[in-house]
Amino acid sequence: MESVWRFLKSKQGITIIGFLVLVILVVVFYSISPNQTQAVLNSMIRHSTPLILGALCGVMCERSGIINIGIEGHMLLGAFMGYMVNVWTGSLVLAVAASMLTGSLMGLLLAYMSIKLKLDQVIGGTVINILALGLTGYFYTVGLTTSGKIMTFPLGPLADIPLIGPVLFNNGFITYAAIVLVFVLHFFLYRTPWGLRTRAIGEHPEAADTLGINVIRMRYMNVLIGGAIAGLAGGFLTLESVGSFERAMTNGRGFIALAVMIFGNWSPIGAWGAALLFGFATAMQTQLQFMGIDIPHQFVGMLPYVLTIVVVAGLVGRTHPPAAEGKVFEKE
Amino acid sequence: MASEPETKKTDFWRALWRSIGVPLGAIVLALLIGAVILLISGANPLLAYSALFQGAFGGASQISRTLEKATPLIFNGLAISLAFKAGMFNIGAQGQLVFGAIIAAFIGFAVKGLPWFVHAPLALICGAIAGALYGSIPGMLKAFTGASEVITTIMLNYVALNMTDWLVGGPWQDKTTEILLPRTPEILETARLDQGRLITSGLIFVILSLYLALMVYLFVKSHKKIRMAGKTTREFFTANLGSLLVALIPVILVGLYLLDLLQVGFLIAVGGAFFIWWLLERTTLGFEIRTVGANSNAARYAGINVALIMILTMVISGLLAGLGGAVETTGVDGRFEPAFNVGLGFDGITISLLGKTHPLGNIPAAILIGSMKAGSNTMQFEAGVPKEIVDVVQALMLFFVAADMIVRYVLRIKGKEEKVSLTSGWGQH
Amino acid sequence: MNQVPVLEVRHVSKQFPGVLANDDINFSLNKGEIHAILGENGAGKSTLLNIIYGLYKADQGEILVDGQPIELSNTQDAIRHGIGMVHQHFMLVPVFTVTENIVLGSEVTRNGMLNMKEARQKVTELSKRFGLEVDPDALIEEIPVGVQQRVEILKALYRDAKILFLDEPTAVLTPQEVGDLFKVIEQLRERGVSIIFISHKLKEVLAISDKITVMRRGKVVGSTTPREANERILAEMMVGRDVILTVDKEPARPAEKVLEVKDLTVFSDQKHKAVDHVSFDIRAGEILGIAGVQGNGQSEFVEALSGLRDAAEGEMILNGQRMPFKHPRALVEHAVSHVPEDRQKHGLVLSYSLIDNMVLCTYYQPPFAKGFNRQNDAMRENAERLIKQFDVRTPNADVKASTLSGGNQQKVIVARELSRPVKLLIVNQPTRGLDVGSIEYIHSQIVKIRDEGAAVLLVSAELDEIMSLSDRISVMYHGELVATMDVKEATREKLGLLMAGVTPD
């Protein structure tokens, strides 16, 4: 009994309860107003996709001990390069590849700055953010056209399930990829030697080092992969969601992704839950306006940030950031 | 024997080079790489940079615009530099600035019937207090729960953004125009900073005279001491060249103000920089702040209340940022609009590091970044170069000044600097 | 004995800047032997171990395993040759389970996935075989230190270690845990593991080892067995009798009681009871020396008395006035000076000039400050005067403290702490790592302040220092002051036994 109570009070517990409450609310709302509910949920998924991809990048980097506040920059450059390749070649496959490659190049830069140059990692991330803003703004030209964007494709009969079908199983490729990645990464992080070692180098790199794990190589690799995922988040914006590029179009999503990662306690599935919650909050902002409900949408909009502050301050539950984050690892 | 003052002199230049070599090198390297990018994209770097320079310093109005752009940047750089001194990273100075700006706007348009010499200072003070209160939140969270100020200030940035968004779209919206825009009404004439120019000029004249008198007094006093120590006047001058130059800055500034080249806001910013410099170097509180940043264990040993100093530092840091926002509202914009100076917080980081987190170093660094912002439009117009290249150059500057080992290697600057660890992971400790 | 030693060290030397840490070390370890290396702090024991484990490279000499010389360029080489090490500071990931920590780096996998079930089985099996009881699923941060140590041992055994190094394994353990560890070590020996046990605790060494090698100042001074030796002999070998620094001083003239401490109880960072109901007093004009092997609660004891750590229980009465704990400034204002144990962590701000360091505790008082305003001239004058007075070797007062040598850094601290009126001086390890000249100077200053009428509390792990400076000596063992005596009654042997926990009955 006490363990149940403890679980309920824990962060996972709260997340699960919150999730259940949401599900019940959704069902209730669906029975009252099916169209509106579906619109909100669709918009939730759409808003949560770049957030979860960005957060997965954060998880990859921070679990290996590298703070990444440059997610915004990875995303923006990924979005831009994906878009440009789409303009030049008309190939969406190449475009997606380009956005991921760009993201991982930025990841390489971050890793180089924090591991080799031993820069303060927060500054390194800031360099990437400003650089991305500048480069994309500089090279962006107005009036380009593309041959199209990634279309949604329903997943056979699954898409016909009422409510869930259109929400989960009628999306574009990157949205599916994001959901798959959540589970794949979660699995890898907790069920494979790579995951065990990754978590070890983020917590106690010296211990990992004495056991023959190449801390530096692993950090480089993980930050590269993380960068690619954040690049994909950018690709989602220009190739699947909006279909075109605008200056500074990520609009702070990289920082919400950071909040998502923290709120999800540095775990992929936790982050997914947080991303859905934050996506839901965003979806509700617009919906509330339609419904003429008099809660200023900005209050819903600031919820994610306030919640994140509450969580990092340890006022509710406790987060466990990787212990070696932000610290320079030096081999003897 | 005669060569002794000579070596003194070279010592001075060497010390100067050692202290500003890295930022200068970073600026040059960043501009060079920027030029390469310009070349690759088919633009003429010389043309672009000269247009940029023209747009920033080509005439009285350009200089005035540059200094106007630099004003909030100085405040932001100061806010971040001060926090660095106490070992904290106020990456969210932006949020404190935005709050200062909107509160100043509110005081400016909502409080009526005050004379300008009460109204304008009141708006500034309220803006500064708003920033200070907002800055105290991450300070207290850090001191009491150990929550990283890097995260909390980033998050508070967005809270501030939403909050002001709501205010300008709701309770504080400008309802005077036909089409409702999300912005506050214009502030009253009495709240504007450039009021009563004649009287402020007079006031400044008095202050300047007092300042000069003080300088002469200090000069004579320390000169006497030097003479008693058996050194020549020339040695005294070479040894104190730096402080003499610094002492000249206010005189130059007031001159520029009287020539109508700069706003009173810029004077306040420079005054703020001098104040922070004085605070850090000359007061016991400054000593406490620096000790907490340099070695918090030793600070505890010395009987310093570390938690209190952390909070106080964030309060002052927020106050500076808020004052910057208030100056911008009351001195330049005349109202608060939501797209208000997005990204200033990040500019502040670049400026703080370019100025080597020295309060006075922030001034030239802010003028540099401000000039790039001011000149970028001219560059875009005349050289056909998208103005965002200045962001690229700024990012490169930040990179090189932070990665000082590269610059040191390229420029062969000797002397290893003690690296300040700016952050130490985040979350609880 | 005809068998080939499993490990042999021949003529190993290692020079560090300023110290010859290992000087022509010869040493061998037989199969199934528990071999203790005994020596004081800084005798070179850990350096030797780190060389054999591949963390440091020896300047000369060779290392043989099973009679074959081996090449050691990193720890992996050592692990491959069956050498395992339990570091003094554990190398464990706190948020991982026991099993995860053990298998990390050589995981049990099935189809590329972690097979934690099998790993757990292996760990359980291993822990049964060697009698190392652990819960394979427990989180490291939630288990006691003694169990964490078992996990470290299991980590080595999991990698088939034949030779196990234990670096000061008992330093962090409670007496009960030490007993458990000894049982484990004996079981390991029965299963053919050879063990090197580093310690400076005589009693433990005699209790557990088969062979004892004693090191002093980077050299092996002798080998013996527990049967041939006793604590007295070992203490003599370990401390040596050739180098006793003498300090000229008059007999003390103790006056009124300055400090009275009643029932002081302090907890360590690990929430252990580090200081256990300690009561004592010090009079003006006398030096009370606290002897004891390091790690017996001295650090926490001093931290509590100097305001850096809260006390769980007890009272501190200074000149008849009850003092608050955890309030360093109140102590400064009541004329308490403190030379801390770690001069770089607490004593100095390394990036500050000597001018600033000289006023670290009094920066806010006149003449160094008038209200908010710092008085640069007064501070500079103060620093320059103290530099001269205390013979700090520095080009000028403006250099950063980090540029000074250890001895001069310590002089800066001593100068600062003695520059204001002192009624009570607390000094902890005042001469650790210093050259002889600085040691003598600091000793003379401590005696001088006593003669001026201050009460001095001297904590040191150096027996010589305690014996030559103190007027009375207390011995701290396991957080308690086990005995107090006049310096005239104290002998090296008597103190050595007390420090090792042997109380005469």
Residue B414: band (very low, low, confident or very high) from pLDDT cuts 50, 70, 90: low
Q: Are residues B206 and B189 in the same domain?
A: no
Q: Taking CB atoms and an 8 Å limit, are A312 and B147 in contact across chains?
A: yes
Backbone angles phi, psi at C494, to 5 degrees: -60, -45
- Residue C290: CA atoms inside 13 Å, Cβ hemisphere, count? 31
Structure tokens at C13: 């030397």
What's the rounded Cα separation, in Å, for the pair C78 and C107?
19
Cα C404 from chain centroid (whole Å): 24
Task: State the sign of the Cα–Cα–Cα–Cα dihedral C486, C489, C491, C494.
Answer: negative
Pairing status of strand C194-199 against strand C163-167: parallel
Alpha-carbon gap: B158 to the closest alpha carbon of chain A (Å): 7
What's the rounded Cα separation, in Å, for the pair B68 and B269?
11
Q: At CA B311, angle to CA B306 and CA B314, rounded to 5?
A: 125
Q: Taking CB atoms and an 8 Å limit, are C373 and B282 in contact across chains?
A: yes
Q: Which residue of A has its CA nearest to C53?
A: A210
Q: Are residues C353 and C436 in the same domain?
A: no
Question: Which comes out higher in pLDDT, residue B313 or C296?
Answer: B313
Q: Count the neighbouring beta carbons within 10 Å of the beta carbon of residue C477.
A: 19
Span C81-104, pLDDT tens digits: 999 988 878 899 999 999 999 999
Q: Taking CB atoms and an 8 Å limit, are B158 and A252 in contact across chains?
A: yes
What's the rounded Cα separation, in Å, for the pair B280 and C372?
11
Asked whether the beta carbons of A202 and A267 are under 8 A apart, the reply is no
Residue B4: band (very low, low, confident or very high) from pLDDT cuts 50, 70, 90: very low
Q: Taking CB atoms and an 8 Å limit, are C104 and A323 in contact across chains?
A: no
Alpha-carbon gap: B275 to the closest alpha carbon of chain C (Å): 13
Q: Taking CB atoms and an 8 Å limit, are A212 and C79 in contact across chains?
A: yes
Q: Which amino acid is at A223?
A: V
Q: Are residues B124 and B211 in the same domain?
A: no
Question: Which comes out higher in pLDDT, residue C296 or B411?
Answer: C296
Residue B248 has a pLDDT of: 78
Alpha-carbon gap: B283 to the closest alpha carbon of chain A (Å): 29
- Here the CATH number for the domain that contains residue C265 is 3.40.50.300
Over residues B324-346, mean pLDDT = 78
Q: Does pLDDT of B285 surpass 80?
A: yes
Q: Which residue has the tokens 């402020």?
A: B200
Q: Are residues A226 and A79 in the same domain?
A: yes
Listed residue (A148, A154, A186) closest to A52, CA to CA: A186
Q: Are residues C154 and C232 in the same domain?
A: yes
Q: Which residue has the tokens 């824990």?
A: A10
Minimum mean pLDDT range among A227-241, A284-298, C205-219: A284-298
Q: Which residue has the tokens 């049967």?
A: C227
Q: Are residues C91 and C150 in the same domain?
A: yes
C-chain residues within 8 Å CB-CB of B301?
A: 306, 308, 328, 338, 340, 346-347, 360-361
Q: Which residue of B has its CA nearest to C307?
A: B301
Asked whether the beta carbons of A86 and A146 are under 8 A apart, the reply is yes
Q: Does pLDDT of C501 surpass 80?
A: no
Over residues B21-48, mean pLDDT = 91
Q: Are residues B251 and B209 in the same domain?
A: yes
- Domain interval for residue B237: 195-255
Residue C393 has a pLDDT of: 87
Structure tokens at B85: 């001194």
Q: Count the neighbouring beta carbons within 10 Å of the beta carbon of residue C225.
A: 11
Question: Which comes out higher in pLDDT, residue B230 or C418?
Answer: C418
- Chain A: partners with 3+ C-beta pairs within 8 Å: B, C
Average pLDDT, chain A: 87
Asked whether the beta carbons of C149 and C181 are under 8 A apart, the reply is yes
Among A191, A195, A204, the residue with its CB nearest the CB of C93 is A204
In a domain, B228, yes or no: yes
Q: Are residues B89 and B101 in the same domain?
A: yes
Alpha-carbon gap: B402 to the closest alpha carbon of chain C (Å): 19
C-chain residues within 8 Å CB-CB of B419?
A: none
B-chain residues within 8 Å CB-CB of A122?
A: 89, 91, 150, 422-423
Q: Are residues A9 and A76 in the same domain?
A: no
Q: Are residues A7 and A140 in the same domain?
A: no
Number of domains in chain C: 3
Alpha-carbon gap: B356 to the closest alpha carbon of chain A (Å): 14
B-chain residues within 8 Å CB-CB of A314?
A: 145-147, 428
Q: Are residues C264 and C297 in the same domain?
A: yes
Span B313-328, pLDDT tens digits: 999 999 999 999 999 8
Q: Taking CB atoms and an 8 Å limit, are B298 and C349 in contact across chains?
A: yes
Over residues B291-303, mean pLDDT = 92
b vs e for C377-403, b when ≥16 Cβ sit within 10 Å of the residue's Cβ? eebbebbeebbeebebebeebeebbee
The DSSP element (H or E) to which A182 belongs, if any, is: helix A173-191
Distances from the Cα of A292 to the Cαs of A189, A286, A287, A300, in angstroms?
A: 44, 10, 9, 14
Question: Which comes out higher in pLDDT, residue C431 or A201?
Answer: A201
SS3 call for B342? coil
Among B284, B285, B294, the residue with its CB nearest the CB of C349 is B294
Q: Does pLDDT of C305 surpass 90?
A: yes
- Domain interval for residue C230: 7-239
Residue B368 has a pLDDT of: 94
Q: Taking CB atoms and an 8 Å limit, are C360 and B291 in contact across chains?
A: yes
Q: Which residue has the tokens 């171990």?
A: C49
Q: Are residues A46 and A22 in the same domain?
A: no
Which of C239, C274, C303 represents a domain boundary (last residue)? C239
Q: Are residues C200 and C153 in the same domain?
A: yes
In a domain, C279, yes or no: yes
Minimum mean pLDDT range among A26-35, A36-45, B291-300, C396-405: A26-35
Residue C175: band (very low, low, confident or very high) from pLDDT cuts 50, 70, 90: low
Residue C505 has a pLDDT of: 60
What's the rounded Cα separation, in Å, for the pair B264 and B203?
12
Percent of chain C with pLDDT over 90: 41
What's the rounded Cα separation, in Å, for the pair A267 and A275?
12
Over residues C256-269, mean pLDDT = 92
Q: Taking CB atoms and an 8 Å limit, are C363 and B287 in contact across chains?
A: yes
Q: Does pLDDT of B107 surpass 90?
A: yes
Residue B429 has a pLDDT of: 35
Q: Are residues B138 and B271 in the same domain?
A: yes
The DSSP element (H or E) to which C190 belongs, if any, is: helix C175-190
Among B91, B391, B393, the residue with its CB nearest the CB of A137 is B391
A-chain residues within 8 Å CB-CB of B151?
A: 258, 262, 308-309, 312
Structure tokens at B338: 């939501």
Listed residue (A47, A48, A37, A39) closest to A274, CA to CA: A48
Listed residue (C157, C155, C122) closest to C140, CA to CA: C155
A-proximal residues of B, 83-142, CB under 8 Å: 89, 91, 141
Q: Does pLDDT of B6 surpass 90?
A: no
Distances from the Cα of C25 to the Cαs of C69, C79, C219, C220, in angstroms?
A: 16, 22, 6, 6
Question: Which comes out higher in pLDDT, residue C74 or A88?
Answer: A88
A-chain residues within 8 Å CB-CB of B403?
A: 113, 117, 119
Number of domains in chain A: 2
Q: Are residues C277 and C320 in the same domain?
A: yes
What's the rounded Cα separation, in Å, for the pair B300 and B307?
10
Greatest pairwise CA separation for chain B in angstroms: 80
Q: Are residues C118 and C214 in the same domain?
A: yes
Greatest pairwise CA separation for chain C in angstroms: 80
Q: Taking CB atoms and an 8 Å limit, are C75 and A213 in contact across chains?
A: no
Span C107-154, pLDDT tens digits: 888 888 899 999 999 999 998 888 888 899 999 988 887 889 899 999
Minimum mean pLDDT range among B36-40, B407-411, C292-296, C492-496: B407-411
Minimum mean pLDDT range among A186-200, B221-235, C176-190, C372-386: B221-235
The DSSP element (H or E) to which C191 belongs, if any, is: none
Q: Are residues B224 and B327 in the same domain?
A: no
What's the rounded Cα separation, in Å, for the pair B311 and B136?
6
Q: Are residues A24 and A118 in the same domain?
A: no
Q: Are residues A188 and A45 in the same domain?
A: yes
Backbone angles phi, psi at C476, to 5 degrees: -105, 130
Asked whether the beta carbons of C306 and C336 are under 8 A apart, the reply is yes
Asked whether the beta carbons of A198 and A85 are under 8 A apart, the reply is no
Asked whether the beta carbons of C148 and C174 are under 8 A apart, the reply is no
Number of domains in chain B: 2
Percent of chain B with pLDDT over 70: 88
The edge-to-edge listing of strands for the beta sheet with C455-459 is C336-339, C424-428, C455-459, C287-291, C472-477, C480-486
Q: At CA B120, angle to CA B116 and CA B125, rounded to 5?
A: 145
Q: Taking CB atoms and an 8 Å limit, are A210 and C75 in contact across chains?
A: yes
Q: Taking CB atoms and an 8 Å limit, are C109 and A193 in contact across chains?
A: yes
Residue B424 has a pLDDT of: 43
Distances from the Cα of B167 to the Cαs of A229, B171, C352, in angstroms?
A: 36, 5, 47
SS3 call for B166? helix
In a domain, B108, yes or no: yes
SS3 call for B23? helix
Cα C468 from chain centroid (whole Å): 21
Over residues C145-172, mean pLDDT = 88
Among A119, A134, A309, the residue with its CB nearest the CB of B395 is A134
Minimum mean pLDDT range among A262-266, B404-408, C76-80: B404-408
A-chain residues within 8 Å CB-CB of C75?
A: 210, 212
Q: Are residues C130 and C233 in the same domain?
A: yes
Q: Are residues B174 and B284 in the same domain?
A: yes
User: Residue length, chain C?
Assistant: 505
Q: Which residues pair with A67 in a beta bridge?
A: none
Span C432-447, pLDDT tens digits: 767 767 888 889 999 9
In a domain, C249, yes or no: no
Span A271-297, pLDDT tens digits: 998 899 888 888 887 777 777 777 777
Which of B307, B338, B361 represents a domain boundary (last residue)? B361
Over residues B62-68, mean pLDDT = 88
Q: Are residues B86 and B174 in the same domain?
A: yes
Q: Are residues C354 and C474 in the same domain?
A: no
In a domain, A90, yes or no: yes
Residue A209 has a pLDDT of: 87
Q: Taking CB atoms and an 8 Å limit, are A67 and B423 in contact across chains?
A: yes
Structure tokens at A68: 């990444």
DSSP state of C401: G
Q: Are residues B167 and B309 in the same domain?
A: yes
Is the peptide bond preceding residue C226 cis, with omega within 30 degrees of 0? no
Average pLDDT, chain B: 84
In a domain, C504, yes or no: no
Q: Are residues B216 and B318 in the same domain?
A: no
Q: Does pLDDT of A243 surpass 80?
A: yes
Q: Taking CB atoms and an 8 Å limit, are A312 and B165 in contact across chains?
A: no
Q: Are residues A19 and A67 in the same domain?
A: no
In a domain, A179, yes or no: yes
Q: Are residues C291 and C391 in the same domain?
A: no
The DSSP element (H or E) to which C23 belongs, if any, is: strand C19-29
Q: Are residues B246 and B340 in the same domain?
A: no
Q: Are residues C24 and C135 in the same domain?
A: yes
In a domain, C250, yes or no: no
Interface of C with B (CB under 8 A): 306-308, 327-330, 332, 338, 340, 345-352, 356, 360-361, 363-364, 369, 372-374, 376, 402
- Domain interval for residue A96: 36-312
Q: Are residues A134 and A254 in the same domain?
A: yes
B-chain residues within 8 Å CB-CB of C328?
A: 300-303
Span B198-230, pLDDT tens digits: 667 777 777 778 888 887 888 777 777 767 676
Span A145-184, pLDDT tens digits: 887 888 888 888 888 887 778 888 888 899 999 999 999 9
Q: Are residues A141 and A5 in the same domain?
A: no
Q: Which residues pair with C37 in a beta bridge?
A: C198, C213
Backbone angles phi, psi at C228, to 5 degrees: -85, -20
Q: Are residues C128 and C272 in the same domain?
A: no
Q: Are residues A22 and A117 in the same domain?
A: no
Residue B402: band (very low, low, confident or very high) from pLDDT cuts 50, 70, 90: confident
Tell me what ipTM this predicted complex has.
0.86
- Here the CATH number for the domain that contains residue A73 is 1.10.3470
Q: Does pLDDT of A220 surpass 50?
A: yes
Among C306, C351, C374, the residue with its CB nearest the CB of B282 is C374
Backbone angles phi, psi at B82, to 5 degrees: -60, -45
What C242-249 contacts at long range (C-beta under 8 Å, 24+ apart), as own/partner pairs, is C243/C464, C244/C464, C244/C467, C244/C468, C245/C436, C245/C439, C245/C440, C245/C443, C245/C464, C245/C465, C245/C468, C246/C468, C247/C440, C247/C443, C247/C444, C247/C447, C247/C468, C247/C469, C248/C447, C249/C447, C249/C450, C249/C451, C249/C469
Which of C239, C270, C299 represents a domain boundary (last residue)? C239
Q: Tell me if chain A has a CB within 8 Å of the CB of B270.
A: no
Average pLDDT, chain C: 87
C-chain residues within 8 Å CB-CB of A195?
A: 114
In a domain, B248, yes or no: yes
In a domain, B270, yes or no: yes
In a domain, C265, yes or no: yes
Residue B345 has a pLDDT of: 64
Q: Does pLDDT of A230 surpass 80?
A: yes
Q: Are residues A166 and A27 in the same domain?
A: no
Contacts of B31 (CB under 8 A, 6+ apart): B49, B393
Q: Which residue of A has its CA nearest to C89?
A: A207
- The residue among A285, A289, A309 with the most chain B CBs within 10 A of its CB, best to mutate, is A309
| Residue spans of beta strands (DSSP E) within A115-265 | 153-154, 170-171
Q: Are residues A168 and A144 in the same domain?
A: yes
Q: Which residues pair with C7 in a beta bridge?
A: C29, C65
**DSSP per position, A41-62:** HHHHHHHHHHHHHHHHHHHHHH
A118 Rama sector, left if φ>0, alpha if ψ -120 to 50, beta otherwise: left
| Residue spans of beta strands (DSSP E) within C256-312 | 257-267, 273-283, 287-291
What's the rounded Cα separation, in Å, for the pair B264 and C77?
69
Over residues A125-154, mean pLDDT = 87
In a domain, C459, yes or no: yes
Listed residue (C364, B388, B26, C101) closest to A200, CA to CA: C101
Greatest pairwise CA separation for chain A in angstroms: 66
Q: Are residues B297 and B216 in the same domain?
A: no
What's the rounded Cα separation, in Å, for the pair B311 and C384?
35
